[in-house]
Amino acid sequence: MGWIERLLTIDRRIIFAIIALVLILPMIFPFGFRTPVTPPTQKLFDAVDAIPPRDKVLTISADYDPQTEPELHPMTIALLRHAFATHTRVLVLALYVQGLGLAEDALTTVVAEFNGRATSPQDSIVYGRDYVFLGWQPPPIIPILGMGTSIRQVFPRDYYGNDTDTLPLMKETETYNDMGLLVSVSGGSAPLWYVAYAQSRYGIRVGAGITAVSVADFFPYLETGQFSGMLAGMKGAAEYEELVERSLAVGGRRKAMEGMSSQSAAHIAIMAFVVLANIGYLARRRRKA
């Protein structure tokens, strides 16, 4: 059997094994690369950066589930790193029960990173003072509209069972007027709900973190200014990680960058197989001619 026949009759199990290898190895040994930052990501970064640290809060609505975790969870982590690095206070909530565990995981991860580097109580991230995890209150329309009149009435107790009236941050945060920006990280339509019901009625600025497949549906809201910025898929998350690390010198595991490394390696391998298959096809055709 000549090299042409060998090239065109590669066992598909070999191809699957190579693809699996190029997917797994970058996750274990990620290769770092600088990703160009697109305007939607830069807009969201600038919007978060513009929040007055001790005057307004950043609110993150973790509206995603484990199915979309690879794309969206790194966004939440990067947003929290940005907020804590600039001493911006944070409220976290979820419109769906599936987002609660993921939001808590992001908070636990980032708070541990910052407190591990802290040298004094002032440098530490303290629950109730620097951030509050409000939890979940169904159905989604209740918290979206209710926070326009009283956050503490919608969430009388936080995720951990504390009375929100007793938390220092909540004593200073009553409605959307006390929020500098609300970012909905969602695998569905939650960002549009915040635009339709919260922004139109109360004027809250809204940012979005969405899956890559939803970009075409959400982009018009960015172009019209209804979104103050947008993170699009894993690439958007990797861009935000890049901005946080480069602009604020905040380190930490960059899961989106690791995912992009794996994805890029797989794309290169697939393109290589396509090129090899076409070379083999053209060579056999020429030999027959």
Confidence of residue 228 (pLDDT cuts 50, 70, 90): very high
- Please tell me the predicted confidence (pLDDT) of residue 61: 98
Segment 49-79, tens digit of pLDDT = 999 988 899 999 999 999 999 999 999 999 9
Confidence of residue 177 (pLDDT cuts 50, 70, 90): very high
Reply yes or no on whether the pLDDT at 200 is more than 90.
yes
Bond prior to 191 in cis (omega within 30° of 0): no
Segment 96-125, tens digit of pLDDT = 999 999 999 999 999 999 999 888 878 899
Q: What share of the chain in percent tops pLDDT 70?
A: 94
Mean pLDDT for 142-153 is: 96
Order the strands of the 179-186 sheet from edge to edge: 131-136, 89-94, 57-63, 179-186, 206-210, 227-232
* Cα separation, 227 vs 207, whole angstroms: 5
- Residue pair 219/244 in contact (Cβ under 8 Å)? The answer is no
Confidence (pTM): 0.86
- Please tell me the predicted confidence (pLDDT) of residue 2: 66
Confidence of residue 15 (pLDDT cuts 50, 70, 90): confident
- Please tell me the predicted confidence (pLDDT) of residue 53: 82
- Please tell me the predicted confidence (pLDDT) of residue 1: 52
